[in-house]
């Protein structure tokens, strides 16, 4: 992983932790740990909050009706890849 990719992944982990006030540090979120359900344990409301925070922070919309949401939010790594491909900032 490039330094820029690692930095973005760290930023996304920090955004998740701060948005949801999680009792873990961003470094504790492993790139391949599932975000939803098992793993990090986020629910649909948490995912919605993260989507809104990502939209504000990175300047593009994550839509609730996107058929790829299951893949996009499957892990920190997949969310980071989607942001890298779509962000404006």
User: Look-up: residue for tokens 């504790």?
Assistant: 28
2-34 pLDDT, tens per residue? 898 999 999 999 999 999 999 999 999 999 999
Summarised one tens digit per residue, pLDDT across range 27-81 is: 999 999 999 888 899 999 999 999 999 999 999 988 878 889 999 999 999 999 9
Taking CA 65 as the corner, what is the angle to CA 31 and CA 44, rounded to the nearest 5 degrees?
A: 55
Where are the chain's structural domains?
Answer: 3-86
Taking 80 as the threshold, does the pLDDT of residue 88 lie above it? no
**In sequence order, what are the beta bridge partners of 42?**
36
- The residue written with tokens 């701060």 in the block is 18
3-86 CATH: 1.10.1200.10
């Amino acid at each position: 992983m490039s330094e820029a990719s690692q930095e973005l992944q760290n930023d996304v982990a920090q955004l998740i932790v701060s948005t949801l006030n999680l009792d873990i540090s961003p470094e504790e979120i492993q790139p391949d740990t599932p975000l939803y359900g098992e793993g990090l344990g986020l629910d649909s409301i948490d995912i919605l909050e993260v989507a809104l925070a990502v939209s504000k922070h990175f300047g593009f919309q994550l839509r609730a009706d996107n058929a790829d949401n299951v893949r996009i939010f499957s892990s920190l790594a997949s969310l980071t890849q989607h942001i890298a491909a779509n962000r404006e900032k």
